[in-house]
């Protein structure tokens, strides 16, 4: 949090309570929200804030390398404040996007060809284990 604020100050970007609220919200969630999701959440507290403020703040943070834009969901761009190397899974049923813990593919590339991978945008799409379990439970209920 402090690091991001320092970076914004260095670039002469005004630190407003709205901007801080956006950063805090991003840090508090693992949901990989879209600009609209963030706007909906923050405007509860700051009703006068515009969608453009949210969007512009996200783009600023992205340009500073503090936020990653994900192209995993074809309906909307999503944002992740966790800029560490990790992959994402998108469930086509519940529309959740979440982090996959393993960086197996990066490890494989790095060791096989000696690359120095700094960024990756590897996205997995499918049905998450939670949805599959619900489906199975539903089937079991019908059987009994």
Contact between 128 and Zn ion per CB under 5 A: yes
Distance of closest approach, residue 122 Cβ to Zn ion, in angstroms: 11
* CB-nearer residue toward Zn ion: 45 or 95: 95
Interface with Zn ion includes 93 (CB under 5 A)? yes
The nearer residue to Zn ion, 11 or 133, going by C-beta atoms, is 133
Whole-angstrom CA distances from 134 to 10, 70, 128, 129, 137 are 49, 27, 10, 9, 5
Tally Cβ neighbours within 10 Å of residue 15. Answer: 13
Beta bridge partners of 48: none
- Tell whether residue 73 is a contact of Zn ion (CB under 5 A): no
d(CA 89, CA 77): 14
Q: Contact positions toward Zn ion, by CB under 5 A? A: 80, 82, 91, 93-94, 99, 128, 131
């Amino acid at each position: 949090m402090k690091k991001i604020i320092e970076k914004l100050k260095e670039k002469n970007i005004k630190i407003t309570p709205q901007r801080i609220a956006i950063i805090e919200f991003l840090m508090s969630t693992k949901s990989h929200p879209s600009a609209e999701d963030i706007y909906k959440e923050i405007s509860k507290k700051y009703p006068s804030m515009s969608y453009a403020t949210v969007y512009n703040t996200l783009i600023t943070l992205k340009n500073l390398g503090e936020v990653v834009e994900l192209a995993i969901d074809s309906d909307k761009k999503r944002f992740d404040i966790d800029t560490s190397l990790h992959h994402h899974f998108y469930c086509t049923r519940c529309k959740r996007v979440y982090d996959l813990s393993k960086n197996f593919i990066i490890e494989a590339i790095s060791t096989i060809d000696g690359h120095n991978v700094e960024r990756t945008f590897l996205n997995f799409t499918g049905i998450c284990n939670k949805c599959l379990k619900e489906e199975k439970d539903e089937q079991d209920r019908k059987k009994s």
